[in-house]
Structure 1
Amino acid sequence: MDDMVTARRVEPQTDFVYCCGAITEVLKFGSCQLHSGHKVLFLILPGNPGVVGFYRTFMQTLHSMFGYRHPVWAVSHAGHCVPPDSMDMVEDASAAEGDVFGLNGQIEHKLAFIRKHVPRETSLVLVGHSIGCYIILEVMKRDPELKVTKAVMLFPTIERMAQTPQGKVMTPVLCHMRYMAYLPLFLLSLLPEGLKTSLIKLVFGGIRSLDHSVVQPTVGLLSGDCAANAMYMGGQEMRTVLERDNTTIRKNLDKLIFYYGATDHWCPVQYYHDIKQDFPHGDFRLCENDFRHAFVLDTGREVAKMVFEWISGDLRT
Structure 2
Amino acid sequence: LQGLEPELFLKLVTNEMDNMTADGRDEPQTDFIYCHGAITEVLKFGSCRLHSGHKVLFLIIPGNRVLWASTTPSCRHFIVCLVYYYPVWAVSHAGHCVPPDSMDMIEDDHKLSFLRKHVPRETSLVLVGHSIGCYIILEMMKKDPELKVIKAALLFPTIERMAKTPQGKVMTPVLCHLRYVAYLPVFLLSLLPEGLKTVLVKLVFAAIHSLDNTVIHPTVSLLSGDCAANALYMGGQEMQIVLERDNETIKKNIEKLLFYYGATDHWCPVQYYHEIKRDFPSGHFRLCENGFRHAFVLDAGREVASMAAKWICGDLRT
**What is the Cα deviation at residue 162 of structure 1?**
0.4
- Does the residue aligned with 2:255 lie in a helix, a strand or coil? helix
- Which amino acid letter does the alignment assign opposite residue 65 of structure 2? P
The CA deviation string for residues 80-111 of structure 1, in whole angstroms up to 9 with x for no partner, is 001122322x1x4xx1xxxx1xxxxx4xx101
Q: 1:119 aligns to what?
A: 120
Structure 1 pair 4–248 and aligned structure 2 pair: CA distance change class (3 A): closer
Q: 2:40 aligns to what?
A: 24
Q: 2:243 aligns to what?
A: 242
Measured in 1, the distance between the counterparts of 2:204 and 2:174 equals 20
Q: Give the number of equivalent residue pairs.
A: 301
The CA deviation string for residues 128-154 of structure 1, in whole angstroms up to 9 with x for no partner, is 000000000000000000000100000
**What is the Cα deviation at residue 10 of structure 1?**
3.1
Matches within 5 A, 1:250-269: 250-269=251-270
Q: 1:192 aligns to what?
A: 193
- Which amino acid letter does the alignment assign opposite residue 78 of structure 1? A
RMSD: 1.9
Measured in 1, the distance between the counterparts of 2:316 and 2:21 equals 24
Q: 2:77 aligns to what?
A: 61
**What is the Cα deviation at residue 314 of structure 1?**
3.7
Matches within 5 A, 1:28-47: 28-47=44-63
**What is the Cα deviation at residue 254 of structure 1?**
0.4
Q: 2:143 aligns to what?
A: 142
Q: 2:302 aligns to what?
A: 301
Measured in 2, the distance between the counterparts of 1:212 and 1:191 equals 21
The CA deviation string for residues 274-300 of structure 1, in whole angstroms up to 9 with x for no partner, is 000000110010000000000010101
**What is the Cα deviation at residue 7 of structure 1?**
3.9
% identical equivalent positions: 74
- Does the residue aligned with 1:10 lie in a helix, a strand or coil? coil
**What is the Cα deviation at residue 313 of structure 1?**
2.5
**What is the Cα deviation at residue 55 of structure 1?**
2.4
Contact 1:41 1:123 in 2 (8 A): yes
Contact 2:165 2:269 in 1 (8 A): yes
Q: 1:103 aligns to what?
A: none
Measured in 1, the distance between the counterparts of 2:65 and 2:255 equals 29
Measured in 2, the distance between the counterparts of 1:283 and 1:249 equals 11
Is 1:76 the counterpart of 2:77 in the alignment?
Answer: no
Matches within 5 A, 1:208-247: 208-247=209-248
Measured in 2, the distance between the counterparts of 1:265 and 1:314 equals 29
Measured in 2, the distance between the counterparts of 1:65 and 1:131 equals 24
- Does the residue aligned with 2:32 lie in a helix, a strand or coil? strand
Contact 2:68 2:295 in 1 (8 A): no
Q: 1:160 aligns to what?
A: 161
**What is the Cα deviation at residue 57 of structure 1?**
2.5
